[in-house]
A = this chain, B = another copy of it.
């Protein structure tokens, strides 16, 4: 059952040190900024973060990194013009990086959510990112064996949720949210507002409520514009 929160700190309560945290968003689109800020206050450390990028500027994920809470990041694109926080930590040897092609990153989380033990993926064959990985030729094509990435927690940003926990997204802010929601033991979504159960079109629900444990209703959070 999904619980709706209006206090970001309550929404992230209980995240343990050493957790693997999946963080949605592609650049700033779909980034669960309020949840990340609350996670910083909450204090969990020694985290493994899975996210497409490695933080922008000095806020959100970058602030989590700057606070020294992240032991390892699994991502596809850590090198952005404003990723100076990650850059500094990486060059100082203070953070571990696992670089994964973007589609493989998404598919490995999908596999975790879908109960798939491993899958043969054509991406990256013959490249440094496949080095040391098991390969197999199937029907004349070479594939790399890839394993699921499961989260202890997922922090995602969605557009609207209902009281049961169903979610819809908006435009390209959808990105990793629906996949991460399936791949984590505990999924926490921030939404712009929460509607009554029955107000979302059942045909258009993107993340069914079964995948959502907690919702932070931004419209009810103090200080949210």
Contact = CB atoms under 8 A, between A and B. Distances in A.
A141 B112 CA distance: 14
A79 interface: no
Contacts of A121: 115-117
How many copies of this chain does the complex contain?
2
Contact of A147 (B115, B138, B171): B138
B138 A169 contact: no
A169 B203 contact: yes
B168 A203 contact: yes
Contact of A120 (B119, B170, B206): B119
A122 B115 contact: yes
Contacts of A118: 119-120, 136, 138, 143
A201 B169 CA distance: 13
A143 B117 CA distance: 7
A168 B136 CA distance: 37
A27 to B, nearest CB: 20
Interface string A124-159: 000000000000101101010001000000000000
Nearest to A119: B119
6 contacts: A117-B121, A117-B136, A117-B141, A119-B119, A170-B203, A171-B202
Interface of A: 107, 111, 114-122, 136, 138-139, 141, 143, 147, 168-171, 201-204, 206
